[in-house]
Amino acid sequence: MSIPYKSLKKIVEKSKLGFQEELKYRNISFLLFVSEDTELTRSDPNYEPTFYNKPDISHWDIYMDTYNVPLEFQRITLFHEILEIVLFERLEKHLKGDIAHAQAHITARIYDNKYAKETLDEITYQRYCNFRLEMLNGER
C-alpha cells in the first residue's frame, strides 16, 4: 500500500487551521473544527485533544483542541488525523474495524514523525515527541 506522504503534506501546509475549514484529499472530504475546548470537557475521563468521526457518508469531521495541541504541532496533528482516516478507509475493506483502526494509527504515527522531523528544529521535535507520548498515555 503506497502512503500519500508528499501530496498529503501539501494539503496540510495549505490549511488555514480554521474552524469549519473544508479540506478534500483523495476523494475524501473533511470538515476541520479547531477550537479551544473547555475545562469541563478536559475533565471527562474519555476526553481526547484530537479525534474524528463520520457523521454521515459524505465527509469526516476532525476536531482539534488548541488548548491541548500547541500551535507548532497542529499541522502535524492534522496530517496524522487525515492519514489515519485515509488508511482506515482502505484497510477497513480487508480487516475488522478495530484492527484496521489500530494499523492505520500505527502507520500514521510513523509518517507524522517523519513530517515532524522535516519541519521542526531539534528542540521543538523533542517537545513534539514528549507531547505525543503524553497524548498516548492520556495525560493531555
| pLDDT tens for each residue of 4-29 | 899 999 999 999 998 899 999 988 99
Looking at the structure of the chain, the number of domains it has is 1
- What confidence tens digit (pLDDT) does each residue in 50-82 have? 888 888 778 999 999 888 899 999 999 999 999
Range of the domain at 74: 5-136
For 133, phi then psi, to 5°, come to -65, -40
Instruction: Tell me the C-alpha distance between 19 and 54, whole Å.
Output: 17
Please give the pLDDT value at position 39.
59
> What percent of the residues of the chain are helix, what percent strand, and what percent coil, each to the nearest 5?
50, 20, 30
CB neighbour class for 136 (10 Å; exposed up to 12, middle 13-18, buried from 19): exposed
Average model confidence (pLDDT) across the chain: 89
Instruction: Give the SS3 label for residue 19.
Output: coil
Which residue would you say has higher pLDDT here, 39 or 88? 88
Separation in Å, CA 49 to CA 5, 16, 31, 76: 23, 19, 16, 14
